[in-house]
Structure 1
């Protein structure tokens, strides 16, 4: 099989076509990956923000067709069209049983860059290759745990479906599941990349009527308007906190989303919300990022709430069908997120485009 491989941190990806893939084991499937989004979290593995072992096949946002199933697989069958979830959801552990499948206990194995048993199913030149998020959607095929698959209708285009696997579930879910947005609320979104755009459209769907997009790139702010932003603020021009207050009659936002992962923008989000408001942390920070908070004025006297948001607080078996219904009804934009369709050989160009702020999403279409 062919795949884009990250040989080491801070190195370009390289395309290899000598990769051997094992047969699926118990509870596993082999999926023909038809399409894969290129997400900022892939870039975060490349630059070391998310530490994973290398060499590794990146990609964690994909859709495809089940080609083979291992022993005991019951959730999917050969021929099923599926969205690949980058967080396994076993349905049996404490977290899943308590309504938090987005932090399923089995997802802890993702840190070793292999399958749920800690090993990998890929080799190149006789050496093992790791798989991002038990997936590796930058490859033409992937061995995937059945608890990481969600069956979808065959008539849903797989390039559109691929985006749901991370960016849409994370962004829209942050607004619909994690945050408490009431009709007529004012929402600020700091960081308007692929996930931030989905936060914006999630806030629109939730009923927010003032949606303020904050970013340093004019190109991203223009895209934000297409997805529902009513106001835009250039982050490097003036004071974004004061600008948000000016838009909202001197008050801060009801809800602020931080979708970058920097200490400075996290503090900015906290200062952006009104007393009693909510701050939702969506962006992925480096492991050493710290913030300084005045406990009395953040939590006590001003009664602000700060929530972490992983995978949009999503239950994939509930939310993937829900998102597809919103898309079919014209409420959720999916095709509009695809700025470019590329081949896997263009992966480094896609990373450059993502860093430049010129695309919402590049989508890899794997050759048949």
Structure 2
């Protein structure tokens, strides 16, 4: 697809896996807002195949691949783990140097999808919207066959991103007061993370009132249609102190949203930015530096909730299997590939929490 165009379905040629790579038959792909941002990107190389959330089956493996074998069920983490770079070796694998570039190329700078002599990139070097794709083995996390492809796909991105934003980044503690902007799939996992960490109040801001009931089901103690309502509620509940943290998981983050979040936190509080703007170069953070200093506030960004896919995904999956983490309720709509446009239209209209593309049989 090209910048500011609608999604298109085309037939492409796919190279086999090179050294360290795996060919996957995708079964499920998640419709994450990050892929929709591609339509407005000024940084991405086009044409590019969407999809960075998904799960499927290993069909063939390239030279040197030993961690997975044909037939394995795997999910695609858009964060690879090389285990050797500065970031991986210091416990910050979410910044791994093997992380994909905006070109959508593989780590060696080449492409696996082609048509009429033109190379196609893949979102986060994955391209899970394609029925078959070639990815680095470092992006593959095997999972037990008793787990559905649908649930596994959620663990590719939205679950660790949201849960980690609350637990790893905001470091929510028992008794904390937390505000969450956005109650989509990522936001609901922020809510779950804050609840499991022991937050006493979890108030949610989402202009789509239809999402409020589900936010409460995931653990929100109150919901609001706008930031003013949340700020007034938090100030009243805390005697004017404000929230310990505001986690911004809105689909499109603007300077108005960040400013409102900043005004809602107390001294020493933290604003965590999870979402993004459609245009990466847009200045979406405009704050009074003096207040940032004298009130010791923090504004931090996070990628993948600062999680490690190789350790945190199995942990989160275990929590789900023990009934501690709700994932099934996130799956609100299923689409065929040719319905992708409708899937994203429904997302923008607030009609689905996490829609998924069903490439194969329903799992």
User: Judging changes above 3 Å, is the alpha-carbon distance between structure 1 residues 294 and 226 closer, same or farther for their aligned structure 2 residues?
Assistant: same
Answer yes or no: is the 8 Å Cα contact 2:258–2:284 preserved in 1.
no
CA deviation map 1:149-170 (0-9, x unaligned) = 1111111101110011011111
Equivalent residue for 2:249?
259
Structure 1 counterpart of 2:328: 335
User: Hey, what's the Cα distance between the residues in 2 that align with 1:165 and 1:29?
Assistant: 17
Corresponding residue of 2:189: 198
Q: 1:326-360: CA deviations, max 9, x gaps?
A: 10111111110011111111000001011111210
Deviating beyond 3 angstroms after TM superposition, the runs of 4 or more aligned structure 1 residues are none
Structure 1 unaligned runs (5+)?
A: 1-5
Structure 1 CA distance, aligned partners of 2:312 and 2:96? Answer: 16
Deviation of the 1:83 alpha carbon: 1.2
- Matched with 2:169 is 178
User: Which residue of structure 2 aligns with residue 116 of structure 1?
Assistant: 107
Structure 1 segment 93-112 matched on structure 2, within 5 A: 93-107=85-99, 109-112=100-103
Contact map agreement 1:36 1:364 (CA 8 A) in 2: yes
Q: Counterparts of 1:164-243 in structure 2 under 5 Å?
A: 164-235=155-226, 238-243=228-233
Aligned mates of 1:361, 1:106 — CA distance in 2: 28
Distance 2:237 2:58 in 1: 49
- Does 2:304 align with 1:311? yes
- Secondary structure, counterpart of 1:11 in structure 2: coil
Match of 1:12 in 2: 6
Distance in structure 2 (CA, Å) of the matches to 1:183 and 1:339: 31
Correspondence for 2:73: 81
TM-score (norm 1): 0.93
Asked if residue 91 in structure 1 is aligned to residue 99 in structure 2, the reply is no
Residue 127 of structure 1, CA deviation: 2.4
Superposition deviation, residue 37 in structure 1: 0.7
* 8 Å CA contact 1:201, 1:227 repeated in 2: yes
- What is the count of residue pairs matched by the alignment? 357
CA RMSD of aligned residues (A): 1.5
User: Cα distance, 1:248 vs. partner?
Assistant: 2.9
Counterpart of 1:3? Answer: none
- Where 2:135 maps in the other structure, the secondary structure is strand
CA contact (8 A) 1:341 1:362 kept: yes
Which segments of 5 or more consecutive residues in structure 2 lack a partner in the other structure? none
What is the TM-score with the length of structure 2 in the denominator?
Answer: 0.95
8 Å CA contact retained: 1:110, 1:132: no
User: C-alpha distance in 1, partners of 2:89/2:256?
Assistant: 36
Taking the aligned partners of 1:83 and 1:186, their CA distance within structure 2 comes to: 34
